[in-house]
Amino acid sequence: MATHTLAVLVENSPGVLARVASLFSRRGYNIDSLAVGPTENPKVSRMTIVLNLEGHALDQVSAQLFKLVNVIGISEMKDTDSLKREILLVKVANKAATKEIAKKHNVSIVDETASTISIEAVGSSTAIEALLTELKPHGIRELVQSGLVAIERGANTLADRTLSTMGTANESESISSTADYQN
Amino acid sequence: MSKVTGAQSLVNALEAAGVDVMFGIPGGAILPAYDPIFDSKIRHILVRHEQGAGHAATGYAQATGRVGVCIATSGPGATNLVTPLADAQMDSVPIVAITGQVPAPAIGTDAFQEADIRGVTMPVTKHNYLITDPADIPRAIAEAFHIASTGRPGAVLVDIAKDALQKESTFNYPKNISLVGYNPVLVPKQESINDAAALIAQSKKPVLYVGGGVIKANAAKELMQFAEITGAPVVTTLMARGAFPDSHKQHLGMPGMHGTVAAVTALQKADLLITLGARFDDRVTGKLSTFAPNAKIIHADIDPAEIGKNRHADVALIGDLKNILQALSPATKSALAKSQPDLTPWLDETYGWRSKFPLGYDQPSDGSVSPQYVIERIGKISGPETIFTAGVGQHQMWASQFIGYEKPRTWLNSGGLGTMGYAVPAAMGAKVGAPDTTVWAIDGDGCFQMTNQELVTCALNNIPIKVAVINNESLGMVRQWQTLFYNQRYSNTDLHSKRIPDFKLLAEAMGCVGLRCERPEDVDKTIEAAMAINDRPVVVDFNVHRDAMVWPMVAAGTSNDDITVARSMAPVWDSQEL
């Protein structure tokens, strides 16, 4: 069982999320998490997909994904050369112990009632997991987590590698692409 | 620039895309488009069912290499296109479907005849569009034709809201299409070509495993040149029949579940498969883990996602098959000039299998007509210039086995999706695309009853196709499996179609000539009678023996090594062949 994180640049067009979801569903690829949002280019959205690949090769998944006309570029975000973050919002009992844990993990208390506190944490999957492990014995009232987002370390950008020219709203109409996995 | 309606824009765009014919049926949401269609130079053929329109577009595209076009209204009109879209997409056939959609403000309200056809067809199209602004129509049509016809061809749907057809905008057809996320690789890497040539020069047991991609790329000539340079045996898959002449001495026939012993066995024993536009489909490989166990793989395809999907490729050649073969031929020639392995033992072996285990069939002992004989005679009498279409089942396999194909685009069938009912509408589309060519639909009595309504369309529009109904009054292939795997319990496969319907009367009711043949001695003269009719469609009801089976056979999910040439009968190999 291998987990991989893919950063996928897609055209910001209606139905693109459905196309990606439909592809993963019909080909039997398991998604652990998926986060999608805007990028520096209003025409382009970015998906971060965490995949649990069992019996499927990563380059096959990428090749199938790249066949979608709206997919512009794909890159694997490896642990060694990328930053990965998740957001956690968790509601726990308002007591000294839980506040102490929040302090220890250097995360914010963003809401407080007589009986509860809401903690916001941003961090790697490991950091989030460590926080939750400590909070668990005190009872977790409610928990919500975002999908993972990832960005490459260093000066390189995914757009540099996948788009030869980045169009912006004011710039050229056309943007051309290649996927760096190809061939 | 003067303003035109979205409907006019649509028709202008279709004309600009070079469309000369489309198959369709009007209805509420697409109605605005039908007004300018009335004045257009594009020939619109009014079909009787949208599925017929879709398969006709596919048949047209397969016969001509051009993009086939079908058009339908929203809701049921559009959902009736789903089968042909899935069919064309599976077989990489370029078609564009235009559908009307309810007006934009009504989308999502469960309006009358509303169906989310973009959502429905997402998994079965190469790409699709929902257009709600008339200004977007020309670009969407231009992109649809570009996407359908380039790279690995496929099906594209353009769904247009009714109000977008009614509103006005300027017509502006894009000269160049540039899609940020769509840039098919056409030219293979020279380095990979050299690697492939090096493997070929080392191989003592090579086989050319030829798929439909060679036909899509119009690369039959290049294939011939390459095949003769290598001197290797050639097999052509169900989708590639005609890509390489059946009469050529290097041809071993079709591989796969109902392939020839020689083709199946050559793949199993090969040390190198030179895979050209084929995709290691389960009907070819049998049990994948036992397929061609000793072979290295050269895999040439325009679709990078096919590389390694089912079988690891030692050398991948990504690009258009014509380009690949044009590069591979000289590279192979010079590699072979340095070291040319002696293929003689391998050729002796494979050609030996071919002569020892030829395709054949038994004449029924009760004096009834053998279905294979009928199909073989149609092939012989009509000749290799004919375009043949088939439905799906036993008759399809026999039509692939017992007709000799010499040219690409003369054998049209539903290989991937396996769509019963494909033959008649596909023949209609093929005949429209190639009006001077004889077009025979080889159909089964089950298939024929699914889509024969299009004979009305053929009769009214001067599309004189010929249909051979191979009538074994059964869903024959299912019945064959029931014979072999379900203790001859014939659950729901008896169609009684020698009694009802009367195909001769049915044909005549639809404005065709109806003929019937019930005796072996009448087969030739019935075919000749059908050949003589060219002013109307003709349907021949060939009453054939119902227990005929398709052989050889590799049972589903088993190894190609376990091929049987008749029931429970493995080929009898010489001891040294094992």
Enumerate the residues of chain A whose CB falls inside 8 A of the CB of residue B124.
Answer: none
Q: Quick check: helix, strand or coil at residue A77? A: coil
Residue B472: CA count within 13 A, CB half-sphere: 26
**B180 closest CB neighbour out of A57, A174, A182:** A174
Contact B122 A178 (CB under 8 A): no
Q: Give the pairing type, strands A108-112 and A116-123.
A: antiparallel
Nearest Cβ partner of B181 from A22, A57, A72? A72
Q: A183 vs B189: CB contact, 8 Å cut-off?
A: yes
End-to-end CA distance of chain A: 25
B345 vs B43: CA distance, rounded Å: 56
Alpha helices in B260-343 (DSSP H): 261-269, 282-285, 321-338
**C-alpha distances in Å from residue A116, one per residue of A96, A108, B379:** 11, 14, 82
**Contact across the interface for B118 and A70, Cβ inside 8 Å:** no
End-to-end CA distance of chain B: 76
ipTM, 2 decimals? 0.91
Q: Confidence band (pLDDT; 50, 70, 90) for A177?
A: very low
Element spanning B15, H or E: helix B6-16
Give the distance from residue B178's alpha carbon to the nearest chain A alpha carbon, in angstroms.
7
Rounded CA separation B82/B76 (Å): 10
Does the distance separating the beta carbons of B180 and A59 come in below 8 Å?
no
Q: Which residues of B touch A47 (CB under 8 A)?
A: none
Residue with tokens 């590279």: B331
pLDDT at A171: 33
Nearest to B226 by CA among B340, B326, B343: B326
Rounded Cα distance, B339 and B345, in Å: 17
Nearest CA-CA distance, residue A122 and chain B, Å: 32
Question: Between chains, do A10 and B305 touch, taking CB under 8 Å as contact?
Answer: no
Give the nearest partner residue to B180 out of A18, A67, A72, using CB atoms: A72
Pick the closest to residue B573 from B283, B268, B205 (CA basis).
Answer: B268
Q: Which of A57, A63, A177 sits opposite B183 (nearest CB)?
A: A177
Beta strands in B116-183 (DSSP E): 127-131, 155-161, 168-170
Using an 8 Å CB-CB cutoff, list chain B residues near A23.
123
Q: Is B435 helix (H, G, I), strand (E, B) or coil?
A: coil
Q: Which residues of B are catalytic?
A: 50, 112-113, 162, 477
Note whether A36 and A45 are within 8 A (CB). Answer: yes
By a Cβ cutoff of 8 Å, what residues of chain B touch chain A?
Answer: 118-119, 122-123, 126-127, 130, 147, 178-183, 185, 189, 192, 303-305, 307-309, 316, 318
Q: CA–CA separation, B150 vs A128, rounded Å?
A: 47
Q: Residue A54's pLDDT is what?
A: 76
H or E element at residue B4: strand B3-5
Any bridge partners for residue A118, and if so which?
A91, A111
- At position B79, the amino acid (one-letter code) is T
What tokens does B29 get? 């949401």
Q: Which of A18, A66, A71 faces B119 most closely, judged by CB atoms?
A: A18
Three-state SS string over B261-315 comes to HHHHHHHHHCCEEEEECCCCCHHHHCCHHHCCCCCEEEEEECCHHHCCCCCCCCE
Render each residue's pLDDT in chain B as its tens digit; 578 residues: 789 999 999 999 999 999 999 999 999 999 999 999 999 999 999 999 999 999 999 999 999 999 999 999 999 999 999 999 999 999 999 999 999 999 999 999 999 999 999 999 999 999 999 999 999 999 999 999 999 999 999 999 999 999 999 999 999 999 999 999 999 999 999 999 999 999 999 999 999 999 999 999 999 999 999 999 999 999 999 999 999 999 999 999 999 999 999 999 999 999 999 999 999 999 999 999 999 999 999 999 999 999 999 999 999 999 999 999 999 999 999 999 999 999 999 999 999 999 999 999 999 999 999 999 999 999 999 999 999 999 999 999 999 999 999 999 999 999 999 999 999 999 999 999 999 999 999 999 999 999 999 999 999 999 999 999 999 999 999 999 999 999 999 999 999 999 999 999 999 999 999 999 999 999 999 999 999 999 999 999 999 999 999 999 999 999 999 999 988 888 887 655 54
Helix or strand holding residue B3 (H, E): strand B3-5
Inter-chain touch A182–B305, beta carbons under 8 Å? no
Measured in angstroms, the CA of B330 and the nearest CA of chain A are apart by 22
List pLDDT tens digits, range A65-104.
Answer: 999 999 999 999 999 999 999 999 999 999 999 999 999 9
DSSP B74: S
Peptide bond into B408 cis (omega under 30): no
Structure tokens at B285: 């490989």
Comparison of pLDDT for A164 and A105, the residue scoring more:
A105
Question: Nearest CA to A67 among B184, B417, B301?
Answer: B184
If pLDDT is split at 50, 70 and 90, which confidence band does A163 have? low
A72 to B318: CB separation less than 8 angstroms, yes or no: no
C-beta of residue B207 within 8 angstroms of C-beta of residue B273: yes
Cross-chain Cβ contact B305/A67 below 8 Å: yes
Q: Do A72 and B305 touch (CB under 8 A)?
A: no
- Determine the pLDDT at residue B577: 55
C-alpha span between B64 and B379 (Å, rounded)? 21
The mean pLDDT value of chain A amounts to 88
* pLDDT value of position B575: 56
Gap between the Cα atoms of B432 and B22, Å rounded: 10
Chain A residues inside the 8 Å CB shell of B122: 15, 18-19, 22
Residue B500 Ramachandran class (φ > 0 left, ψ -120 to 50 alpha, else beta): beta
Identify the residue whose tokens are 């339908």.
Answer: B72
CB pairs under 8 A between A and B: 62
CB–CB of B43/B461 below 8 Å?
A: no
Q: Where do runs of H (alpha helix) occur along B203-306?
A: 213-216, 220-230, 261-269, 282-285
Nearest CA among B406, B365, B388, B351 for reference residue B470 = B388
Contact A142, A132 (CB under 8 A): no
% helix / strand / coil in chain B, to the nearest 5?
40, 15, 40
Rounded to the nearest angstrom, the minimum Cα separation between B160 and chain A is 15
Quote the CA–CA distance of B208 and B223 in Å, as a whole number: 10
Task: State residue B524's pLDDT score.
Answer: 98
Q: Pick B178's closest partner by Cβ from A64, A68, A176.
A: A176
pLDDT at A1 over 70: no
**A contacts of B192 (beta carbons < 8 Å):** 183
Q: For residue B269, give the nearest of B215, B206, B338 by alpha carbon.
A: B206
Cβ atoms of residues B159 and B141 within 8 Å: no
Percent of chain A with pLDDT over 90: 78
Kindly list the residues of chain A whose beta carbon comes within 8 Å of any beta carbon in chain B.
10-11, 14-15, 18-19, 22-23, 26, 57, 59-60, 63-64, 66-72, 163, 167, 174-178, 182-183
**What phi and psi, each to the nearest 5 degrees, are found at residue B429?**
-65, -40
Spatial CA neighbour of B438 closest among B389, B508, B401, B510: B389
Q: List the single best residue of B180, B190, B302 to mutate versus A (max A Cβ within 10 A).
A: B180
